[in-house]
Amino acid sequence: MVFNNEINRLKLWCGNRAEEYLPTQGSYGGIASVGYHLMYDLIFKLSTLMDRPFESKAAFREAILGMLDIHYEPCILEPQNNTARHMIEKTNRGFCAYLDEVLSEPGISGPVEIPYRRVIVGDEAKGLIEKFRTVWGYVNTCCWFPLMGNEPEEIKDKFYIMYDYLEPYHKELEKLLGLPQTHIYSYGETVFYPEHCEEVVEMVEYGGCESIYTDKDFSWAVYFSHEDTVAFAGSIVPKVKELLWAEQEHWDKFEWGID
CA–CA distance from 258 to each of 20, 33, 144, 181, 228 (Å)? Answer: 36, 34, 21, 36, 12
Instruction: Specify the pLDDT at position 258.
Output: 57
Distance CA 138, CA 158 (A): 14
Say if CB 207 and CB 194 are below 8 A apart. no
Provide the residue type at 110 as one letter: G
98-144 pLDDT per residue, tens:
999 999 976 566 788 899 999 999 999 999 999 999 999 998 877 88
Instruction: Specify the pLDDT at position 72.
Output: 79
Backbone angles phi, psi at 213, to 5 degrees: -120, 150
194-235 pLDDT per residue, tens:
889 999 999 988 666 789 999 999 999 999 998 889 999 999
136-175 pLDDT per residue, tens:
999 887 788 988 766 677 888 999 999 999 999 999 999 9
Q: In the predicted model, what is the mean pLDDT of the chain?
A: 88
Ordered alpha helix ranges (H), the chain: 4-21, 31-47, 57-65, 74-77, 82-103, 122-136, 163-166, 170-176, 237-243
Instruction: Specify the pLDDT at position 190.
Output: 72
Q: Which of 246, 252, 237 is nearest to 173 (CA)?
A: 237
Write the DSSP assignment of 49-80 as a string of letters: TTT-B-SSHHHHHHHHHTTTT---SHHHHS-S
What is the band of 246 on the pLDDT scale with cuts at 50, 70, 90?
very high
Q: How many CB atoms lie within 10 A of CB 109?
A: 6
Instruction: Specify the pLDDT at position 88.
Output: 87
**Rg of the Cα atoms in the chain:** 20
CA angle 141–144–150, rounded 5-degree value: 110
pLDDT(28) > 70:
no
Q: How many CB atoms lie within 10 A of CB 124?
A: 12
Q: 158 pairs with which residues across the strands?
A: 233
Most confident of 12-21, 23-32, 61-70: 61-70
What is the band of 96 on the pLDDT scale with cuts at 50, 70, 90?
very high
Bigger pLDDT: 65 vs 80? 65
Of 14-18, 73-77, 211-215, the poorest mean pLDDT is in: 73-77
Instruction: Specify the pLDDT at position 83.
Output: 83
Share of the chain above pLDDT 90, in %: 61
Provide the residue type at 211 as one letter: S
Q: How many CB atoms lie within 10 A of CB 243?
A: 17
| Average pLDDT estimate for 4-12 | 95
